[in-house]
Chain A
Amino acid sequence: MRRNDIDSNDGFSLVEILITVAIVGITFTAILGGLITTITASAYQRKAATADAIVRSAAELVKDSVRNPYANCAGSGAYSLAGLSVPAGFSVTIQGVKYWDGQPVPPGDMVKFTSNCDHGMQQISIQATSSDGQATETLQVIKRSVP
């Protein structure tokens, strides 16, 4: 029988199977790659979102003048984050405090925060981090003396 006989299937099965296996292999490799990427990105997003929620909660706690009264010349440890619900695998800390320089602010100018305390207003940096270090969220809030 001739190989190019249009009524014949002889001799093509092996090549076809090999090509099929190759195509399916490449396809599944791409699918697995996509899945792994998606899962990795999803895990990171979940951690980032959790860290984001934690740092926001911490910020609200720090700004709360009842639970954390304004402390003149406060250092990083002056404001308590006790009572804040932090999920396992995450931590939250106050990174630093800067102080308003107390100078009059010309119209439109920036309010300046320096390391010289204290004129009734502070810029506080808060950071939440996942224990594996993948997700880190930082936030700066301004706290002023009350009333």
Chain B
Amino acid sequence: MSVRDEDGQVLLLALGFLLFFGLVIGAMLTFGEASVLSTARLREQRANVYAADGAIDAAIQVGRSDTGVGAYGDPRCQPPPPPATSATPTLLSTTSTDNGVTTVAKVVCNWSADPLQPDRTVTFTSSVGTATPIVRATVVYHDSGGTVPDVNILSWTYCGHDSGACP
């Protein structure tokens, strides 16, 4: 066969076109998939943060109703003594439904180590799924003020991806 012969060149051209446009379509679909995945991931993150945020609010309010929460020596807010065979007990859980997906957030707490303080200083930490903290808040209950104590928020930290924010 002569190298100048045109036989079969259309096939090569067609294959070239198919390859080129296949790559173009593949790239477009990859972009589209990345967009969909990022939106879904952001939605999940948002749901987790709002669930964790709400769980902390719930814990604070439960602590106003139950003045034993976070009081000195409260076993609900105390890690097990060493050697610890289990994690710090869960104080409470909340559920929230976002776009049909139910998220369960758990809250653990730690009481102030100072028994002489008349007011409770309690740190609440919430998480979703794993034990990785999402939100941490430290509050003071002014128990001496009345039957339903006022609350001051000392700190409210979104742990995010910075593990150092909630050691």
For window 84-137 of chain A, which residues contact chain B by CB distance below 8 Å? 100, 102, 104-105, 107-111, 119-121, 123, 125, 136-137
User: Are B29 and A119 in touch, CB under 8 angstroms?
Assistant: no
Q: Which residue of B lies closest to A37 (CB)?
A: B32
Contact with A along B31-47 (1 / 0, CB 8 A): 11001100100110011
The yes or no answer to B151 lying at the interface (CB within 8 A) is yes
B interface residues, tally (CB under 8 Å): 55
Known interface pairs A52-B42, A56-B46, A138-B98; A30-B150 also in contact (CB < 8 Å): no
For window 30-52 of chain A, which residues contact chain B by CB distance below 8 Å? 30-31, 34-35, 37-38, 41-42, 45, 48-49, 52
Interface of A is mostly: mixed
User: Are B5 and A108 in touch, CB under 8 angstroms?
Assistant: no
Known interface pairs A34-B25, A38-B31, A48-B39; A111-B94 also in contact (CB < 8 Å): yes
Bound-state Cα–Cα, A108 to B58, Å: 13
User: Are B25 and A42 in touch, CB under 8 angstroms?
Assistant: no
Known interface pairs A7-B2, A138-B97; A121-B18 also in contact (CB < 8 Å): no
Closest 6 CB pairs of A and B: A142-B54, A147-B150, A108-B90, A140-B96, A144-B61, A16-B10
